[in-house]
Structure 1
């Protein structure tokens, strides 16, 4: 009886292993193919929300129906897990065919042999479809290792009704840091010693001290052409300027407001708790959803001075083929579609994202109307002064060395010049 049971168990395990093997082959006769010979492209994204998942799956569906040689299958992995699993799958020799990855770390993956060189799949003219500052981020030693998908840029959002109440012209937002300070003080609204509204605080929204330092320093990043440029006079001044705002309104006020925003999960700009703030362009979608009648404007981030440009900061994502993908040629064909005009225009109009394809972005702006068109066009125009900060291969951990020093300064433990001097020294020591 026991022998019969053992035989049945072994038979079941063999059957199960066959089923699992079939699943691993996508139902086909070889890895990465279907039974009728179509190449399967496994596409990994972190877009699993009710808003974005249907959009990316429509793009996939449209691609699959546009030809009969490739089938793209969408694999959703949560934010925070996707890139860890990507590296693990590359090491195991079983990666995705296409993955959406961070735009600022492409060179790191290229150097570490974690992404495929795409120069065999795209001709030299292909890059002309994309904003130049985005394409620069995907090249390593003169070759592309990804294709830009989307990006962002930061604008000054301001409450026009609050401007009118404070006696400011709602059609004339602040253009310089001096004007920003002047406007903010007029927009502050207090009840005794307590603030009911704060005109502006430079660390609320989608911006940090590092962005203001780059804004002040003529758009100069912390690492430029292999040279460490952390401790510069303007970056020191910018860091001091950021802290002055905190000192003016008080640590307790900052903490009270931040706790209120967090606990209520409220957008402080929409709720009227702050009159101006810096945020990414698609912050507009929240305004549109939760307070569609809000009277607001957008403008470039105020410049350090009248002689300086309105430098902003940005990030974004790329479509990449992990090293060792089963079907790199088919993956490249899908990336062409994903980053082409039709798919990019659809993504732009549905998500209000800044897409990487120039023609698609301009086409989306042309079709939008009213406030939609006004805000989206402002984000496109702002890309001219938007700085991305790709992680330099020589200094991959520079932010982990610099940011604690900035935090020390903000907590009053060290002065700004000493903080940046220490950061510069620490970063230089770890050059690869």
Structure 2
């Protein structure tokens, strides 16, 4: 695999982006032949299940094919057909397959998109298909992130945990302690002011092209919706203060102008160019910095992610789901549990810098012990893994999520650009979210 291909794979996985021992999964799934005839496979006739992933081929062909081969050896009655779908085509293809009743047996999706299928009641309930002992091996908060209307629609696969990576050379030039990164939004604002005054550089590039704004609100103790997800709950003084925080930083030129037009890729470009002091991201992006700006990588240190008043940190998850249309649901769930077991996840995590969804997998020295002569990338991995147990998916799946996210970000940006007050922006955002939840 060429370095460029690996770099592309790293970026794509986070954009998707974000256990039991390796062995037969016979005890990991529940069977109820009376209530779910579709989940019962003929004991003598091998069945074939179709497994869809998002743009993992050809970069990870060896890994995926090896897991499938091992699974088939231990489950002679099941064959797995692997189909890799381009990232940009997955949503269209999976929706079309469900509509035409040709859905795959297992699909690799993120929680927010999978929830669209769950909203249609198109996915099996994993709480009913997987035994409790196996469920308990996954991080509790990550397992719950795959819940919609009280049903768990997916099994967590791989994760990404954002951390604070910062250029110590810029910190030193600004007279800041290079061993101390900001831990709160208040500290981040002060660091941004000091760095701009002392160096002319920016400290931070807020990411507004993903879910980071909403995650930041939740971390700051702001409830996005009511318990039933029927109405917004953030038209509050706390949310106004949150919007005002971003507005003040923007008006004081303490965050780049481009934050209202560009996203995470711009932050990476600025960090590796040495014009941004802090990169808030998954550690896998340091591979790109290593390739393009080795001097910046050498100056990079890592710390836990900046958090709001609650101290909560976010983790991004990818999962495996089983459509109800599958004629072999039990086999499909058995394969999903096998694919995500500790041994298979650790192997995958050593190929690409991601994190496991199985709690015991973190006991592997790879996640908690630095090698001799560690690189900044090694240190970032340890920091990221260490904060995983205290992280959760902060924004749960909800109806019309893309439009809800768009409404909140657009209103925040309107306040930042001076088109309306922070209070009016919050009020308008809440009204737009109410409209989406009412659909």
The TM-score with structure 1 as length reference comes to 0.78
Matched, 1:423 2:429: yes
Match of 2:193 in 1: 185
Determine the C-alpha separation between the residues in 1 that align with 2:370 and 2:332: 32
Determine the C-alpha separation between the residues in 1 that align with 2:121 and 2:265: 40
For the structure 1 residues 50 and 160, does the alpha-carbon distance in structure 2 shift closer, same or farther, using more than 3 Å as the test? farther
- Cα displacement (A) at 1:151: 2.3
Matched, 1:74 2:79: no
**Alignment RMSD (CA, Å):** 3.4
For the structure 1 residues 189 and 381, does the alpha-carbon distance in structure 2 shift closer, same or farther, using more than 3 Å as the test? same
For the structure 1 residues 367 and 381, does the alpha-carbon distance in structure 2 shift closer, same or farther, using more than 3 Å as the test? closer
Work out which of the residue numbers 84, 100, 105 in structure 2 matches 1:97.
105
Does the 8 A contact of 2:260 with 2:413 survive in 1? no
Match of 1:43 in 2: 51
For the structure 1 residues 52 and 238, does the alpha-carbon distance in structure 2 shift closer, same or farther, using more than 3 Å as the test? farther
Determine the C-alpha separation between the residues in 2 that align with 1:377 and 1:98: 31
Work out which of the residue numbers 301, 304, 310 in structure 2 matches 1:300.
304
Determine the C-alpha separation between the residues in 2 that align with 1:424 and 1:291: 42
Match of 1:232 in 2: 236
- Cα displacement (A) at 1:170: 1.2
For the structure 1 residues 228 and 390, does the alpha-carbon distance in structure 2 shift closer, same or farther, using more than 3 Å as the test? same
Unaligned runs of 5+ residues in structure 2 are: 1-40
Determine the C-alpha separation between the residues in 2 that align with 1:394 and 1:230: 17
Determine the C-alpha separation between the residues in 1 that align with 2:336 and 2:196: 48
Matched, 1:123 2:128: no
Output one character per residue of 1:221-258: Cα deviation in whole Å (capped at 9) or x when no partner. Answer: 4124135222222221121111222222289x624998
Matched, 1:245 2:249: yes
For the structure 1 residues 117 and 261, does the alpha-carbon distance in structure 2 shift closer, same or farther, using more than 3 Å as the test? closer
Output one character per residue of 1:105-155: Cα deviation in whole Å (capped at 9) or x when no partner. Answer: 444423312112334431122211111111112234544321011222222
Match of 1:8 in 2: none
Does the 8 A contact of 2:167 with 2:278 survive in 1? yes
Match of 2:343 in 1: 342
Match of 2:325 in 1: 324
For the structure 1 residues 388 and 262, does the alpha-carbon distance in structure 2 shift closer, same or farther, using more than 3 Å as the test? closer
Match of 1:399 in 2: 405
For the structure 1 residues 354 and 68, does the alpha-carbon distance in structure 2 shift closer, same or farther, using more than 3 Å as the test? same
Task: Choose 283-292 or 122-131, whichever is displaced more.
Answer: 283-292
Does the 8 A contact of 2:307 with 2:313 survive in 1? no
Output one character per residue of 1:32-74: Cα deviation in whole Å (capped at 9) or x when no partner. Answer: x9xx943212110112455344433333333334442222221
Determine the C-alpha separation between the residues in 2 that align with 1:183 and 1:143: 43
Output one character per residue of 1:288-345: Cα deviation in whole Å (capped at 9) or x when no partner. Answer: 44445522112223344xxx34333333211011121132222112111111011111
**Greater relative contact order, per chain length (Cα 8 Å cut-off, separation 6+):** 2
Say which SS state the counterpart of residue 166 (structure 2) adopts.
strand
Q: How do residues 49-60 of structure 1 correspond to structure 2 at under 5 angstroms?
A: 50-60=58-68
Matched, 1:377 2:379: no
Task: Choose 344-353 or 199-208, whichever is displaced more.
Answer: 199-208
Determine the C-alpha separation between the residues in 2 that align with 1:261 and 1:123: 39
Determine the C-alpha separation between the residues in 2 that align with 1:381 and 1:314: 12
Determine the C-alpha separation between the residues in 1 that align with 2:349 and 2:250: 36
Match of 1:163 in 2: 171
Matched, 1:254 2:257: yes
The number of aligned residues is: 388
User: Which structure would you say has the larger Rg?
Assistant: 1
Say which SS state the counterpart of residue 129 (structure 2) adopts.
coil
Does the 8 A contact of 1:157 with 1:299 survive in 2? yes
Determine the C-alpha separation between the residues in 2 that align with 1:250 and 1:166: 14
Determine the C-alpha separation between the residues in 1 that align with 2:385 and 2:163: 11
Q: How do residues 199-238 of structure 1 correspond to structure 2 at under 5 angstroms?
A: 199-203=203-207, 208-216=212-220, 218=221, 220-226=222-228, 228-238=232-242
Q: How do residues 131-150 of structure 1 correspond to structure 2 at under 5 angstroms?
A: 131-150=139-158
Unaligned runs of 5+ residues in structure 1 are: 1-32
